[in-house]
Structure 1
Amino acid sequence: MKIAVLRALQLGDMLCAVPALRALRAEYPAARITLIGLPWARKLAARFRRYVYDFMEFPGFPGLPERACDVAAVPRFFREARKRGFDLVLQMHGSGEIMNPLAVLAGGQRTAGFCRPGHYCPDPERYMEWRDEEHEVQRYLRLMAHLGVAPQGSALEFPLSGEDWSEWTGIGLERDSYAVVHPGAQLASRRWPPERFAQVADALAAEGLQIVLTGSAGEKPLVETVRQAMRSPALDLAGLTSLGGLAALVARARLVVANDTGISHIAAAVKAPSVIVASGSDPKRWAPLDRQLHRVLFHEIECRPCKHAACPIGHPCALGVSPEQVSREALSLVECVA
């Protein structure tokens, strides 16, 4: 059996789909499961070889924001998809207004996924109603159950390799001796102010934890702003870790403090305690399911989830969460998991 999973999204989105992939593999152990995703996800698919057999790069499409559409590559993509002869194409990208027709054009014998009432539904038997407030992990397990695929738990995963652990060893930190503070997020509307991260980092440092600042290479200026605002010394690893190295770093941390972004889901996958500030995001949909190990703080506001890359009204959802609140939760969690 050949199954395509269409989910051309970012890191956190992909990790939230792992429980569904796990269930799918358990139900169809001999199936050739192909992940159709963004270019960066090719390495992620290789990391999840136990569930994913192959990878196809999605070239983008007009109206989808995740990547600029490679117009010349679109016809080639659909020709290749049809050539592969999928038995089932799972539209696991979202609510389907754009993606459902694309799932059909991939040429599978059957498709399944989600759709909104009043919008195109390729197969009323295999497509389910999209619920905006449903948790992302539970959403795709619900789809699996609808298709007769038994769940295999809701826990996230992030397999770590020997190279990942070697990278962590090379940093020279001791297990549980440090806190990871990650102030970045892809969208400015999802970022808590850097000076507030600095205040929380100082509070953790005062309790004897070494502070490790992380981020992508593009987030180095943001991370430097946090470091400059701190009174305590910090190890700045922005742009210096691979994805696997970052996950290993998180796995051995005493605590992670971050925005509601990919690293929150890494922490959940490796079971690292975390305090997450959800600024413009929707906690009901994205917060880690284990609320004991992962504390999520947010300020309720009518415009959540935010539709803007940068807040146009002064970012009240972020400013409504104080550094004192985050510090209290962080110190409480450190004590609980000691």
Structure 2
Amino acid sequence: MSRHRPGGCCRRCRGAFGQAGGYAAERHAGGSVLAMATVVQNQALEQPLDPAWARSVRKIAVYRALFLGDLLCATPALVALRQRFPQAEITLIGLPWAAELVDRLPCLDRLVEFQGYPAIEEVPYEPVRGKAFLAAMQAEQFDLAIQMHGSGCVSNGFVAELGAGFTLGYRSDHDDDRLDRSLLYDANEHETLRWLRLVAEVGAYTADTRLVLPTTTAEQERAHALLAAGAEGCGPLIGLHVGAKAASRRWPPERFAALGDALAHHYGARLVLTGSAGERPLTAAAQAALRSPALDVAGKTDLGTFAALVAQLDLLVTNDTGASHIAAATQTPSVVLFGPMRPQLWAPLDRQRHRVVDALALFPAADPQQVLAQLSVDTVFAVCAEALAQSGRGDRTQTETTVTARSLVFGA
């Protein structure tokens, strides 16, 4: 198979295709994603790809050695890539945990575990192992390698060394020419739109920004059995996800407990504490502070069963972590609590179904690493009340609260 590049000249002569400055996408989630896709497609048509090259692509490598939320946010771009190259084998170069996700995503064919590269922190670098890994990847003879890891400061070097027929990614420096085609990285761009913009460079256009996380019938049945065993009653089924990888992104478990009690009192809510096995101390702390009954399923689900369980909730209240993206993928109404991170970059794009409390916007003078501690139960309860009303599960058993949350919701 001929391994020619999609342009007829060298990378310096071609220049960067589709510069970020000429890209007129809506930068906020409330904008028109369809307009975004149309602008990208029209711009790309000014410098069309060589159709023969596109048809010749048989092996694609995508480098994104990150975590659950990061990968879920990239699934619209991965789906678009699959639609553009239906004949190709698409390999994710990622972290070991991602095997469970890759197995359930039709847009990916296999996972190759990333073995490290100098200055990439996700995997400690060992020279002998790292060099052997690069040699193995070069032997794969990828036709296309895409850097979807970040701004490209270090990761562009890794992707360039894969030896693919054509390389694509972002760059943070105008003079970074390590990849065949690169766009300037926009630090203010939403994570999902960022990767859609990138894959449009190889003709993978879409206006569909929905995150993807399929579940099986068996997983749905296991989730139903878990809930049936401990979440009795007829009130709204509300999940409280108290964990997050970084402590700065965790609202205190005792506040989650007070929120749960308020939701149980006003709505007769059936409460479910969710989390991983490592987050059991956090769910236990919330359970100990609760006066209302709650089902603790932390550590009792794998990825698919957890996604199926979230899909059966009426509302998920969660820290800014992977669970928020699972709610987006399963179209479960959610309230997401943001602390040091910016919701403009990571919040679910559907503002009607997924509401955001931006603690930094409420307390701009606070230490970003401590700002979630400033967030009151009343504030979060008010946003939950709006979410339940929107979903039709907001029939109260008690009197209305006087707190208004409209000014607190990102994008409202």
The reply to whether TM is greater than 0.5 is yes
Rounded Cα–Cα distance in structure 1 between residues aligned with 2:268 and 2:93: 45
C-alpha spacing 1:299/1:5, structure 2 compared with 1 (3 Å): same
Q: 2:132 aligns with which of 76, 97, 102?
A: 76
SS at 2:378 equivalent: helix
Q: 2:85 aligns with which of 4, 17, 28?
A: 28
SS at 1:223 equivalent: helix
Rounded Cα–Cα distance in structure 2 between residues aligned with 1:137 and 1:111: 20
Q: 1:223 aligns with which of 277, 283, 307?
A: 283
1:158-184 CA-to-partner distances (Å, cap 9, x unmatched) read 100123112112214379841110010
Q: What displacement does 1:302 show?
A: 12
Q: Runs (4+) of structure 1 moved beyond 6 Å?
A: 301-304
**Matched residue type, 1:324:** D
Partner of 2:119: 63
Partner of 1:183: 242
**1:100/1:121 contact within 8 Å kept:** no
Q: What displacement does 1:303 show?
A: 11
Ranges in structure 2 where 5+ consecutive residues have no aligned partner: 1-57, 393-412
C-alpha spacing 1:152/1:83, structure 2 compared with 1 (3 Å): farther
Q: 2:205 aligns with which of 150, 160, 165?
A: 150
Rounded Cα–Cα distance in structure 2 between residues aligned with 1:5 and 1:31: 12
**2:248/2:370 contact within 8 Å kept:** no
Rounded Cα–Cα distance in structure 1 between residues aligned with 2:203 and 2:129: 35
**1:182/1:214 contact within 8 Å kept:** yes
Rounded Cα–Cα distance in structure 2 between residues aligned with 1:169 and 1:68: 40
Greater CA drift, 220-229 or 167-176: 167-176
Q: 1:200 aligns with which of 253, 259, 265?
A: 259
C-alpha spacing 1:302/1:336, structure 2 compared with 1 (3 Å): closer
Rounded Cα–Cα distance in structure 2 between residues aligned with 1:185 and 1:139: 23
Q: Does 1:264 align with 2:324?
A: yes
Partner of 2:218: 163
Q: What displacement does 1:314 show?
A: 8.3
Q: Does 1:54 align with 2:110?
A: yes
Partner of 1:308: none
SS at 1:144 equivalent: helix
Partner of 2:70: 13
Partner of 1:209: 269
**2:174/2:184 contact within 8 Å kept:** no
Q: What displacement does 1:61 show?
A: 3.0
**2:336/2:355 contact within 8 Å kept:** yes
Q: Does 1:318 align with 2:372?
A: yes
Computing the radius of gyration over CA atoms, which structure comes out larger, 1 or 2? 2
Rounded Cα–Cα distance in structure 2 between residues aligned with 1:232 and 1:72: 55
**1:176/1:254 contact within 8 Å kept:** no
Partner of 2:94: 37
**Matched residue type, 2:322:** G
**1:19/1:152 contact within 8 Å kept:** no
1:81-101 CA-to-partner distances (Å, cap 9, x unmatched) read 111110110000000111000
SS at 1:112 equivalent: strand
Alignment of structure 1 residues 96-175 onto 2, 5 Å = 96-118=152-174, 120-123=176-179, 126-173=181-228
C-alpha spacing 1:303/1:103, structure 2 compared with 1 (3 Å): farther
Rounded Cα–Cα distance in structure 2 between residues aligned with 1:297 and 1:224: 24
SS at 2:375 equivalent: coil
Greater CA drift, 179-188 or 148-157: 148-157
SS at 2:96 equivalent: coil
Q: What displacement does 1:119 show?
A: 5.6
Q: What displacement does 1:190 show?
A: 1.1
The TM-score normalised by the length of structure 1 is 0.92
Rounded Cα–Cα distance in structure 1 between residues aligned with 2:124 and 2:239: 32
**Matched residue type, 2:109:** Y
Partner of 1:89: 145
Q: What displacement does 1:319 show?
A: 2.6
Q: What displacement does 1:209 show?
A: 1.4
C-alpha spacing 1:176/1:94, structure 2 compared with 1 (3 Å): farther
1:197-238 CA-to-partner distances (Å, cap 9, x unmatched) read 111111221211111101111111111111111111111111
Q: What displacement does 1:316 show?
A: 4.0
**1:22/1:152 contact within 8 Å kept:** no
What count of residue pairs does the alignment treat as equivalent? 329
State the identity %.
Answer: 42
SS at 2:360 equivalent: coil
C-alpha spacing 1:265/1:142, structure 2 compared with 1 (3 Å): same
SS at 1:47 equivalent: coil
**Matched residue type, 2:86:** P
C-alpha spacing 1:69/1:323, structure 2 compared with 1 (3 Å): farther
C-alpha spacing 1:303/1:147, structure 2 compared with 1 (3 Å): farther
